[in-house]
Amino acid sequence: MRAVRVLIPALVLLAACSPSGHSQAQTPLPAPTRSVPTSALGMRQSFAPVVKKAAPAVVNISSKRMVRQQVDPFWELFGIGAPRDRIVGSLGSGVIVRSDGVIITNNHVIENGQEITVSLADRREFPAHVLLADARTDLAVLKIDVPGGKLPALAINDTGDLQVGDLVLAIGDPFGVGQTVTNGIVSALNRTADPSGSDASSYIQTDAAINPGNSGGPLVDMNGEIIGINSFILSRSGTSSGVGFAIPAALVKRVVETALGGGRSLVRAWLGARTQSVTPEIARSLGLATPQGALVADIWPGGPAAQAGLHQGDVVTSVDGKPLADASGLAYVISTHKIGDAIRLGVRRGKGERQAILRAEAPPASPARDERVVGGRNPLQGATVVNLSPAVADQYGLDPFAATGVMIVSAGQGLAGQAGLRPGDIVKAVNGRKVGSVAQLVAALQTGSQVWQLTIERDGQEITGEFQV
């Protein structure tokens, strides 16, 4: 059985309830003197000072949404039954990052939630509204309004001085049983979900136990500061096996700042180049001592990389003075910068080393988005389509160099959904006529044909099919 990536909110039904109990008052014991472990001998001491500082800012998040439950098709043949609505929900964790009620959590905890409730450590509950939700980073920023007084909040430590072996605590609300704390170390830094570089990810790996419901909770250092937000685990059983991943503080801080600035989604800076990780074979062919860095395979005309003087065949070896592991790590570091920042790149060209200054820019939205819902009697009826541009490609995690044409954002409830078309499909041709824009697609669909031939690109493969409508 192979390990799989597991997102970790605990799914619950609306009818779930919590048992209540009674306890007798006890004479409080004097608090012992405690300190954070500073040596192997110090491990006999306690993490209590860190927990005392961090735990009050950790919250439980409940998200509920309405779903349509379909009736068994067998009974529909006899006209018995009808689709029913039911409410499902998810439980996760979050952490207060500003005393006025700003909270960071995972996007998958609150995704599609129609009713979000935040439970504080003192068991008070408040409705929350979403300031920002970003599926690409799997982060969301919430806001609650608590009358009177300031809330406990944790600082975000994005100094970048985290090291493998550092002690960390994972705090959350796994299984909905109440707050729990687990300890461990940083097992690795700059872990990527996709070493090919198509995904801008760079995770902190930890062996601190992370279980269902820990999603969105903080990974804190021994100063009680946020160094990451727990996101997912690799596990064969679905429970913690000591391989957990957290989103680094640099990206967390960037998302929070964007939300506080009024942004509804994160605008990532882009390199304007297609890169690939340096493999051992590439390293040998280029005369590199180690297989590290990002090889520039293509340059977007007039993009940031072109303006910085990068060439095809260059190898980016460092960013802001720090060594670069792979192409995905390069995309991640670029995305943590604000638009307009100057980013210092170390570049190897041939046998020489040089420095390049790259100006952080948003991916261009050209051609214009031109989002429309397709009408008429055709296989795309009811689908929402947009023009592909670097900005749209970045939004949906596509390769801007490979993605051209018209993308289906939503199949809708019309003929497109019935025909099996999916969000992310790229329409390449209609009845043999190539389409490169929404306007061309709409024109091609106005022929009034009864038999349609569509060519779409799905997961990198072109598929051509015939439809009768």
- Catalytic residue positions? 108, 138, 215
d(CA 367, CA 385): 13
Residues 125 and 380: their CA atoms lie apart, in Å, by 45
Number of neighbours of residue 196 by Cβ within 10 angstroms: 13
443 residue type, one letter: A
Other Cβ atoms less than 10 A from the Cβ of 2: the count is 5
Torsions phi, psi of 33, nearest 5? Answer: -75, 125
Can you tell me the distance from the alpha carbon of 340 to that of 383, in angstroms, rounded to the nearest whole number?
Answer: 36
180 SS3 class:
strand
d(CA 316, CA 193): 20
> Mind giving me the DSSP string for 368-435?
----EE--SSSTTTT-EEEE--HHHHHHTT--TTT--SEEEEE--SSHHHHTT--TT-EEEEETTEE-
Smallest CA-to-CA distance from 9 within 176, 193, 156 is with 176
